[in-house]
A = this chain, B = another copy of it.
Amino acid sequence: RVTVPGATFDFAVRDLSLAEAGRHQIRLAEHEMPGLMSLRREFGEAQPLKGARIAGSLHMTVQTAVLIETLVALGAQVRWASCNIFSTQDEAAAAIVVGTGTPEKPQGVPVFAWKNETLTDYWWTASQILLWPGADQDPELGPNMILDDGGDATLLLHKGVEFEAAGAVPSPTADDPEEYQVILETLRASLATDGQRFTRIAQGIRGVTEETTTGVLRLYQLAETGQLMFPAINVNDSVTKSKFDNKYGIRHSLPDGIMRGTDVLIGGKTAVVCGYGDVGKGAAEAFRGQGARVVVTEVDPINALQAAMDGFQVVRLDEVVSSGDIFITTTGGKDIIMAEDMARMKDKAIVGNVGHFDNELDMAGLAKTPGITKTEIKPQVHEWTFDSGTADERSIIVLSEGRLLNLGNATGHPSFVMSASFTNQVMAQMELFARHGSITGVEYEKQVYVLPKVLDEKVARLHLDALGAHLTELSKSQAEYLGVDVAGPYKADHYRY
């Protein structure tokens, strides 16, 4: 899987012969990503990312391909991995590696990603984006920017530095999740050959831009304890990200994943949505749009009241676990649906997660349930049968092994919403790479920032034309009356949209 004889760089993807298919899809996606394409037009000549060496960890999909080629068009060098073992579209990965070259003589970007990685593969790919050729000898050749989704690249780097400082990687305890054990192994191997590698890399990083809720949460925690090693931009909380990608993206890709995965009619069914944040709101709207009866679980009384006011019954899981037909977690938390819950579900209930980690569902507990069997219906669709072979035999369908089903069972968010998210990403990279905020002039400290509202509004602006939306312009006197500038920003920072 690693490189080909005619290549001048290393990479690891499934099959370069998929490149042409990937390129067709990328071309169509470009049409649906007006924000990114207009950044290429606006900044292509100025090359604001010239000299940027970006380590990118984000679902290696067709949409991400357009992001990567936008970063390159703005002058950056890039190494890329997926941030999820199931989310790579192999044809997109191949097309990005091949670039303007051929499968025999690729001329694109080093990508380390394929669909269905093992956890060991996954953390190997994560380390590959941090380990740039020659950087062990010359740190100037290492990455100087991170583009992260879920914070795994940032985590690996921070843990690496922590263990290098301690001089040793701790032994995993029995309580550690399997995934953490793999991280420890990955770092132990590195430490054995070079005790300062991650420390050197970290010193070169100018900043990280983070895509999603969970990664952002980790960044704020690091910043609070003073451990954050470089400035960070919270892309997730741009309005044109969290209120678009999380909500409208899921509204599209959740039913898409369920349909591709199961071919089961959603209409008329009882859909249980755990969590009514942005992702939950999109999920609930999608199910309602399909004619399902939607019930919601929440821990936050404000979100719970929103669900109620939007017409959804708010329940505790316990009350619906044996009557629901489809269960979807969207919380970003853990232990939302436990193995005991799944054991009480209706025969052939569908269970999936679009939150962040597979620990929203108790997959470990499920596997340990006495008498359970697992049948692969097709990749990412598994039937788990309880009390197999007894009179009580019944089964549930678990999608994508409890990982993000919209990425595992479908192709993730559609291009248009990703264009909004990724336009924020590119502007955030430009901001941090220039050290003093190339667009805004902000001096970034080792803190977590959100993009200023004018840039957020700019992202929205770049997506209106494609939808045929015609914006009204404020007159000068109207703007004065509202106390805003004719060109924006139009709202106070605390405005919620």
Given contacts A300-B488, A496-B243, contact A305 B460 (CB under 8 A): yes
Closest Cβ of chain B to A301, distance in Å, is: 4
> Which residues of the other chain, B, contact A488 by a CB distance below 8 angstroms?
300-301
CB pair A217 B483 closer than 8 Å? yes
Interface centre among A301, A308, A481 (most CB of B within 10 A): A301
Question: In the bound complex, how far is the Cα of B16 from the Cα of A367, in angstroms?
Answer: 72
CB pair B482 A300 closer than 8 Å? no
Given contacts A244-B309, A460-B304, contact A481 B334 (CB under 8 A): yes
Question: In the bound complex, how far is the Cα of B242 from the Cα of A373, in angstroms?
Answer: 50
CB pair A299 B460 closer than 8 Å? no
CB pair B464 A302 closer than 8 Å? no
Produce 1/0 per residue, A209-248, CB < 8 A to B.
Answer: 0000000010011000000000000000101101110001
> Which residues of the other chain, B, contact A464 by a CB distance below 8 angstroms?
301, 304-305, 308, 314
- Interface residues in A241-264 (C-beta closer than 8 Å to B): 242-244, 248
* A391 interface contact, C-beta 8 A: no
CB pair B461 A301 closer than 8 Å? yes
**What would be 5 A-B contacts, judged by CB atoms less than 8 Å apart?**
A239-B496, A301-B471, A305-B460, A315-B470, A335-B477
**Residue tally, chain A, CB below 8 Å to B:** 63
Across the two chains, which residue of chain B brings its CB closest to A296?
A: B469
Closest Cβ of chain B to A296, distance in Å, is: 9
> Which residues of the other chain, B, contact A457 by a CB distance below 8 angstroms?
300-302
* A173 interface contact, C-beta 8 A: no
> Which residues of the other chain, B, contact A319 by a CB distance below 8 angstroms?
470
Closest Cβ of chain B to A411, distance in Å, is: 19
Q: Which 3 A-B pairs have the closest CB atoms?
A: A314-B469, A301-B460, A300-B490
Across the two chains, which residue of chain B brings its CB closest to A471?
A: B304
Question: In the bound complex, how far is the Cα of B139 from the Cα of A14, in angstroms?
Answer: 82
- Interface residues in A443-497 (C-beta closer than 8 Å to B): 450, 456-458, 460-461, 463-464, 467-475, 477-478, 481-483, 488, 490-492, 494, 496-497
- Interface residues in A277-313 (C-beta closer than 8 Å to B): 297-309, 313
Interface centre among A217, A244, A304, A450 (most CB of B within 10 A): A304
* A85 interface contact, C-beta 8 A: no
CB pair A316 B472 closer than 8 Å? yes
CB pair A478 B301 closer than 8 Å? no
> Which residues of the other chain, B, contact A472 by a CB distance below 8 angstroms?
297-299, 316-317
Q: A496's contact among B242, B297, B315, by CB below 8 Å, is which?
A: B242
* A333 interface contact, C-beta 8 A: yes
> Which residues of the other chain, B, contact A450 by a CB distance below 8 angstroms?
494
Closest Cβ of chain B to A196, distance in Å, is: 31
Interface centre among A478, A491, A496 (most CB of B within 10 A): A496
Question: In the bound complex, how far is the Cα of B120 from the Cα of A145, in angstroms?
Answer: 64
> Which residues of the other chain, B, contact A461 by a CB distance below 8 angstroms?
301
> Which residues of the other chain, B, contact A494 by a CB distance below 8 angstroms?
237, 450
> Which residues of the other chain, B, contact A302 by a CB distance below 8 angstroms?
239-240, 456-457, 460, 490-491, 497
Given contacts A221-B483, A335-B477, A497-B306, contact A299 B470 (CB under 8 A): no
Across the two chains, which residue of chain B brings its CB closest to A224?
A: B483
Closest Cβ of chain B to A280, distance in Å, is: 11
Question: In the bound complex, how far is the Cα of B242 from the Cα of A248, in angstroms?
Answer: 22
Across the two chains, which residue of chain B brings its CB closest to A416?
A: B309
Across the two chains, which residue of chain B brings its CB closest to A486?
A: B299
Question: In the bound complex, how far is the Cα of B234 from the Cα of A492, in angstroms?
Answer: 13
Q: A220's contact among B242, B244, B492, by CB below 8 Å, is which?
A: B492
* A352 interface contact, C-beta 8 A: no
CB pair B316 A470 closer than 8 Å? yes
Q: A309's contact among B237, B248, B478, by CB below 8 Å, is which?
A: B248
Across the two chains, which residue of chain B brings its CB closest to A450?
A: B494
* A324 interface contact, C-beta 8 A: no
* A332 interface contact, C-beta 8 A: yes
Interface centre among A221, A300, A461, A475 (most CB of B within 10 A): A300
